[in-house]
Structure 1
Amino acid sequence: MSEHDASAAGINPRQADDDRRPEGQAGVSEQTLLEQMGGVSGLAYSAVPIVVFVLVSSFTSMMPAIWASIGVAVAIAIFRLVRKEPLQPAISGVLGVAVCSFIAYRSGETKGFFLLGIWTSLIYGGVFLASVLARWPLVGVAWSALNGLGMNWRKQRRAMRAYDIATLSWTAVFAAKYVVQQWLYDNDQTGWLAFARIAMGYPLTGIALIVTVWAIRRAKKVAEEQAAAAQISQA
């Protein structure tokens, strides 16, 4: 396949080269999706300040819990920097804990620590849903932007449907987080809020990632089939 044909079909020429590598390497680009979210370690590190906040607040009070969670977040960021891991997740982790702590301080309640996550879930879920309704499914748009691909997949019905399904899976994840955690917040269940935030994060995110990888591979296959058909018609 020529570079022109690959580009016309919505395939990155470098990605097309990857497809000619031995089996086992063709899925490397999909594996980068989790890396772009901070990796498995990023997901694990994000849970530590939450656990520290709840434990310290249970035995002492809110202010020691705030400083303890911020201190742990900074320590994790330094640890990641020393290990030369991606900088962005480390900075985001510190800022996220700092903002959550500030909200808790201003509200005067320990459960306020979880307000940012609750409302972020609502906003993210709304954005993902709106992107599907607007026929610009966010999973497809984000993946194409991150990997330098075009938007020709929007003209391919099967690719569009796959990205719709993946985007709706993320909508469902954020909606579930919002509904459950908002209910726990309204009922002053701070301990269960922490549990729900961590417990719902890993399994639901994992499911959404599986659906996302399926959608990416589906769209890639559709683009390859279209490029092959175009090449045959020109022969």
Structure 2
Amino acid sequence: MNGKSKEILDELKSVLSGKTIDALFPPLVFVIINGLLGLEVASVISILTAVGFGVRRIFRKQDLKYALGGLLGVLVAVGFAYLSGNASNFFLPKIISGTFMVLLSLGTLLIGKPLAAWLSHLTRGWPMDWFMRKDVKPAYREVTILWTILLAFRLIIQILLFRGRNLSQMFWVNTLMGTPATIIILILSYIYGIWRLQRLEGPGVDEYMQGKEKPWRGQRKGF
């Protein structure tokens, strides 16, 4: 594995941590059990599955945030489905959250503080002033535009499938356009972002924090 591939892999691990099964498995259980035994049984078993992941992490002394996030997501989704008596509404929270993300991403572009910059600032702790420099900000704005387009595309597909009430298709589309799509988008965002920062010829974040003057090496790792 060359240096760039290892760098990208390390970036993905820091974001995804390989622990998304806690959020993916309970919806799969819901879809399968709903087709076999009905909505009520599917609701109970999917919740128990999510609780099971939490218990498993407790025994292994692992971080509970993924299991708790998965459990909360299942409880909300099951609530929508059970109270309405419609299994398709299990995926309604994803449509709602997807709509929120599209509006949020678009809103950050309109106010001139791109979502990609905010997320990097929050996860890495880099100073926001660096992200807002004229020789840095365009890279994050362009990546955010890409995110907005892809998020809107996913939302449109989710809405169309939701209207068609095809539960199995909704599950597979949500799954494939969830983690796998996120991985691809993160890889493309990272590769493009680093390339764009180099072309903008601004300082790397370390150079900025150290107050270095030109000539700068620029940002070579981390976006």
> For this structure pair, what is the TM-score category when the shorter chain's length is used for normalisation?
0.7 to 0.9
Output one character per residue of 1:29-52: Cα deviation in whole Å (capped at 9) or x when no partner.
x83564345x2222x332211110
Q: Is contact 2:81–2:89 with CA below 8 Å preserved after alignment?
A: yes
* C-alpha spacing 1:215/1:79, structure 2 compared with 1 (3 Å): farther
SS of residue matched to 2:127: coil
Q: Cα distance 1:189–1:139, how it changes in 2: closer, same or farther (>3 A)?
A: same
Summarize deviations over 1:157-197 as a string: whole Å, max 9, x none.
34212111222232233212211111111111111111111
Name the stretch that deviates more: 119-128 or 170-179.
Answer: 170-179
Which residue of the other structure, out of 24, 30, 35, is the alignment partner of 2:14? 35
The within-5 A match list for 1:131-150 is: 131-150=108-127
Aligned in 2, Cα 1:89/1:219: closer, same or farther, shift over 3 Å?
farther
Match of residue 198 from structure 1: 175
Where does residue 213 of structure 2 map in the other structure?
230
Q: How far 1:155 sits from its partner (Å)?
A: 4.1
Distance in 1, matches of 2:124 and 2:192, equals 15
Give the TM-score normalised by structure 1: 0.76
CA contact (8 A) 1:119 1:178 kept: no
Query: Is the contact between residue 169 and residue 211 of structure 1 (CA under 8 Å) also seen in structure 2?
Result: no
1:186 matched to which residue of 2? Answer: 163
Using the TM superposition, name which of 130-139 and 58-67 deviates more: 130-139
CA drift at 1:229: 6.3
| Residue 70 of structure 1: how far off its partner (Å) | 0.6
Equivalent position of 1:114 in the other structure: 91
Confirm or deny: 8 A CA contact 1:166 1:211 kept in the other structure.
no
State which drifts further: 136-145 or 61-70: 136-145
Cα distance between partner residues in 2 of 1:115 and 1:52:
17
Q: How does 1:75-224 map to 2 (within 5 A)?
A: 75-214=52-191, 217=194, 222-224=202-204
Task: Give the TM-score, by structure 2 length.
Answer: 0.80
Counterpart contact for 1:159–1:218, Cα < 8 Å: no
Residues 33 and 85 of structure 1: is their aligned pair in 2 closer, same or farther, counting only changes over 3 Å? Answer: farther
Superimposed CA distance per residue, residues 83-126 of structure 1 (whole angstroms, 9 cap, x where no aligned partner): 33332222111001000000101111000100000111111111
Q: Give the aligned CA root-mean-square deviation in angstroms.
A: 2.9
* Residues 1:74 and 2:33 aligned together: no
Give the superposition deviation at 1:77. Answer: 2.0
Q: Against the structure 1 CA distance between its residues 231 and 177, is the aligned structure 2 distance closer, same or farther, given a 3 Å change threshold?
A: closer
The count of aligned residue pairs is 208
Cα distance per residue 1:58-95 (max 9 Å; x no partner): 01110100011111111112223333333222211100
Distance 1:173 1:73, change over 3 A: farther
The amino acid that maps onto 2:53 is I
